[in-house]
């Protein structure tokens, strides 16, 4: 396996960064999780835009133009002979000293791109749907660490994931500080009620899959899409519920906190959107060949 490390392609064993890297010491950095389908890096431009927005807010200068970053992703996929796969793009603050002040990181950020095969959720989850729970860990306050930032500091989500693991479920709902549903630990959440598609407007990451699904619903299914504040009560009484994310794509949810959602089986709107999503992943993005 070849890893992109600061402009060079190096073997996995040689891809090393310093223990003084502030990404390691403080989670001070940004990342993206991206997918390639049949030689198309799905919505790569949108992923890079989101990465650069995170870096801008965090005041990290990658030193690369967006175009150069896109080329680096494609180069990594090609170097690994992958037409389908998962890309983890990491930008750290770089090497500093044992103090959290980012001004101590005088060098360049470390830029790392890993391209690998993707591990997917088991097929039965898509067929039968997930049972999930709400966990006690609240999603970060928007003025603490804004959930829009895809930073290396994922402890908020990891704490929620531990609670999901303890409850024996594969994903968990996190509420925002006001008690509204925000998102899951690594997925956005949607509900369908009376033919309207709804998803939380605040306190969540603006997922690339989420954006795509909202567009498909509005343009191809001609259904009304609302970004709004949604309570657990509304989710319990939804006709359908599903999660979206780069890894999961669209995955149906059939039970939340012991309450059956709709018929208790994956619903028709979810199935239709999943099919439309599959079609678009092979078309919408940066094309390349090996
Ligand atoms: N919310 C959170 C908190 C996420 O981390 C999403 C929503 C979905 O966003 P996208 O842009 O993927 O539709 C994410 C994405 C992993 C992994 O390795 C996590 C994500 C994506 C890919 C891989 O756990 N999270």
Residue after which a domain boundary falls, among 99, 116, 133? 116
Q: Domain boundary residue among 96, 116, 136?
A: 116
Ligand 1 binding pocket includes 205 (Cβ within 6 Å):
yes
Residue 119, pLDDT score: 82
pLDDT higher than 90, residue 139: yes
- Residue 157 Cα to ligand 1 midpoint, Å, equals 10
CATH code of the domain covering residue 163: 3.20.10.10
Q: Is residue 51 part of a domain?
A: yes
**Mean pLDDT of all residues in 167-185:** 98
15 C-alpha vs ligand 1 centroid, how far in Å?
24
pLDDT at res. 25: 97
Q: What is the mean pLDDT of residues 233-260?
A: 98
Give residue 121's pLDDT. 87
Asked if residue 263 and residue 165 are part of one domain, the reply reads yes
Over residues 194-204, the mean pLDDT reads 97
Domain range for residue 109? 2-116
Same domain, 128 and 166: yes
Is 102:53 a contact under the CB 8 Å cutoff?
A: no
Q: What is the mean pLDDT of the chain?
A: 97
Give the model's pLDDT for residue 120.
Answer: 83
Residue 185 CB neighbour total at 10 angstroms: 23
Which residue's alpha carbon is nearest to atom 4 within ligand 1? 186
Other CB atoms within 10 Å distance of the CB of residue 224: 12
Considering the domain architecture, whether residues 130 and 267 belong to the same structural domain is answered as yes
DSSP codes joined into one string, the chain: -EEEETTEEEEGGG----TTBHHHHH--EEEEEEEEETTEEETHHHHHHHHHHHHHHHT---SS-HHHHHHHHHHHHHHTT-SSEEEEEEEE--B--SS--GGG--SPPPEEEEEEPPP---HHHHHH-EEEEE-SSPPPPTTTS-TT--BS--HHHHHHHHHHHHHT-S-EEEE-TTS-EEEESSSEEEEEETTEEEEE-SSS---HHHHHHHHHHHHTS--EEEEE---HHHHHT-SEEEEEETTTEEEEEEEETTEEPTTSS--HHHHHHHHHHHHHHTTSEEE---
- Taking the C-alpha atoms of residue 184 and residue 173, their distance in angstroms, rounded to an integer, is 5
**Structural domain count of the chain:** 2
- Whether 240 lines ligand 1, by a CB cut-off of 6 Å, is no
If asked whether residues 165 and 264 sit together in one domain, one would say: yes
Q: What is the pLDDT of residue 107?
A: 87
> Does residue 135 have a pLDDT over 90?
yes
Q: Residue 16 sits in a domain of what CATH number?
A: 3.30.470.10
pLDDT band at 89; cut points 50, 70, 90: very high
Query: CA 188 to CA 225: how far, in whole Å?
Result: 15
For the cut 90, the answer to whether the pLDDT of residue 258 exceeds it is yes
Active site residue 150: yes
For ligand 1, the distance from its centroid to the CA atom of residue 75, given in whole angstroms, is 23
CB 55 near ligand 1, within 6 Å: no
Asked if pLDDT for residue 78 goes beyond 90, the answer is yes
Report the nearest-CA residue for atom 8 of ligand 1. 245
218/86 same-domain check = no
Ligand 1 touching residue 207 (CB < 6 A): yes
Q: Which of 245, 247, 248, 285 to mutate to test the pocket of ligand 1 (most atoms within 8 A of CB)?
A: 245
Residue 55 lies in a domain: yes
Q: Span 44-70, mean pLDDT? A: 98
Please give the pLDDT value at position 274.
97
Q: Taking residues 21-32, what's their average pLDDT?
A: 98
What does the pLDDT average to over 238-242? Answer: 98
Do 230 and 245 belong together in one domain?
Answer: yes
Query: Which of 149, 156, 147 has its CA nearest to residue 56?
Result: 149
Confidence category of residue 257, pLDDT binned at 50, 70, 90: very high
Q: Which residue has the tokens 């439309």?
A: 276
In a shared domain, residues 264 and 227? yes
Would you say the CB of residue 208 lies under 6 angstroms from ligand 1? yes
Please check whether residues 74 and 172 belong to one and the same domain.
Answer: no
Q: What does the pLDDT read at residue 125? A: 95
Q: What is the pLDDT of residue 86?
A: 97
Averaged pLDDT, 246-262 = 98
- 275 CA → ligand 1 middle, Å: 20
Would residue 288 count as lying in a domain?
no
Q: Is residue 286, in this structure, part of any structural domain at all?
A: no
């Amino acid at each position: 396996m070849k890893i992109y490390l600061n402009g060079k392609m190096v073997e996995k064993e040689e891809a090393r960064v310093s223990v003084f890297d502030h990404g390691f010491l403080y989670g001070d950095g940004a990342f993206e999780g991206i997918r390639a389908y049949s030689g198309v890096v799905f919505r790569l431009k949108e992923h890079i835009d989101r990465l650069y927005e995170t870096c801008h807010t965090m005041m990290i200068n990658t030193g690369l133009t967006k175009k150069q970053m896109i080329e680096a992703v494609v180069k990594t996929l090609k170097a690994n002979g992958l037409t389908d796969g998962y890309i983890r793009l990491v930008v750290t603050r770089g090497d500093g000293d044992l103090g959290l002040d980012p001004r101590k990181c005088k060098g360049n950020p470390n830029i790392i791109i890993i391209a690998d095969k993707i591990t997917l959720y088991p097929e039965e989850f898509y067929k039968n749907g997930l049972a999930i729970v709400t966990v006690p860990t609240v999603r970060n306050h928007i003025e603490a660490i804004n959930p829009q930032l895809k930073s290396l500091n994922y402890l908020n989500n990891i704490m929620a994931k531990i609670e999901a693991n303890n409850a024996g479920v594969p994903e968990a709902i996190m509420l925002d500080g006001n008690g509204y549903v925000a998102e899951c630990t690594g997925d956005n959440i949607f509900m369908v009620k009376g033919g309207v598609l709804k998803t939380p407007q605040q306190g969540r990451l603006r997922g690339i899959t989420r954006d795509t699904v909202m567009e498909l619903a509005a343009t191809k299914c001609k259904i009304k899409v609302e970004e709004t504040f949604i309570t657990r009560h509304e989710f319990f009484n939804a006709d359908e519920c599903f999660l979206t994310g780069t890894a999961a794509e669209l995955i149906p949810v059939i039970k939340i906190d012991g309450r059956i959602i709709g018929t208790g089986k994956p619903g028709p709107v979810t199935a239709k959107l999943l099919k439309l999503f599959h079609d678009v992943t092979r078309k919408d993005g940066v094309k390349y060949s090996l």
